[in-house]
Each structure stands twice: as structure tokens, then as C-alpha cells.
Amino acid sequence: MRVLYVLIYTETMALTFDTLEELVGAAPTELGFTGWVTLSQEDVWAFAGATRAPEWIHTDPERATCEGPFGGPVAHGFLTLSLATYFTTQLLRSPPKMIGINYGLERVRFPAPVPVGSRVRASGHLLEASPSGSAARLVVRLTYECDEADKPPCVADVVSLIAPA
């Protein structure tokens, strides 16, 4: 698993900043694309167990194929969203001796399902970056893609603080 992470991570070129001022001055800017991630049935079962969300449309492939509206099992929307930190760190590097802290979400939508076994990635857009004391507040819009869908399965405005480590 660690090797897979390294391979995916090195496929992209994260935008790197040397100072907080440089980061704040960069907004708005396009951040590019992340690497692809396959969402397997095992990922869905693990997420369902961790979040106590065992709905059959996600966890019962046979029933989801026969009775579900999508022709098979789909990943939880929040499983897709949970890749936000992983994707953001592929797109954007904090200045030295700084750390990114999840602060919240401004807007999230799930316009399309992610079929189990499909691949997702995200494009990023640094919408806002503003000073906040010794830190900076960032808003990054992640627009997810699915290799088996025409519409984005998730669009999320992710709010982070970049603060001294």
C-alpha cells in the first residue's frame, strides 16, 4: 500500500510555496490534476464499517446490481469526499515549517455516483488565500472526475489553515 501511495503521489507536480506571503499572493490560481485512485469494494466495505453506514447500495454488490438504480454498487459520497486531504496534498505544498490544518467545507455537492471499481481524481483551483494572524486561510475547490461518469461525482470547496508547525 505504501508503494502505491508513492507512485500515485509522484505522478503529480504539487505547487510549492517558499513563504506564506507567496502562497497568499498566488490566489486565485489553477492547481492542476491529481493522480487517479481506484475505489474498490474493499474500500467501500472498510468505509462502511468505520462510519457505521452499511447501506446495501454500497455494501451488497448482488442486491445493488439487481435492485439498485445504478446497475451495481456505488461508493459512499462521503468516501469520495474523504479523498479531499489526499488530493489537496498532491496539488499544493505548504511553505517550509508550516502545516495544513483542515478547517471545514464551504460547499459540497455530489452530482453523480462513483461506481465501485472506477477511478477518481480531482482538479484543484485555489479560490482564496488570505492572511489570518501567523497563518493563512485557503479555499481550494476540488472538482472530482470519475472515469465512468460524464458529470463530476463531487465538487467541494475545502477550507484549510496553513499555520506554523
pLDDT above 70 (res 18)? yes
Q: What number is the average pLDDT over the span 27-39?
A: 95
- Residue 12: predicted pLDDT: 57
Is pLDDT at 1 greater than 50 in this prediction?
A: no
Tell me: the pLDDT tens digits for 45-58? 999 999 999 999 99
Looking at per-residue pLDDT, the higher value among 139 and 17 belongs to 139
How much is the pTM?
Answer: 0.88
Q: Mind listing the pLDDT tens digit for each residue in 114-134?
A: 999 999 999 999 999 999 899
Taking residues 32-47, report their average pLDDT. Answer: 96
The SS3 call for residue 1 is coil
Q: Per-residue DSSP letters for 89-151?
A: HHHEEPPTTEEEEEEEEEEEE--S--BTT-EEEEEEEEEEEEEETTEEEEEEEEEEEETT-SS
Please give the grid coordinates belonging to residue 115: 461506481
Asked whether residue 4 carries a pLDDT value surpassing 50, the answer given is no
Residues in a beta bridge with 120: 37, 146
Say how far apart CA 158 and CA 111 lie, in whole Å: 17
* Annotation: CATH topology of 2-164: Thiol Ester Dehydrase; Chain A (3.10.129)
Average pLDDT over residues 1-9: 34
Q: Is 73 helix (H, G, I), strand (E, B) or coil?
A: coil
Strands 15-16 and 92-93: parallel
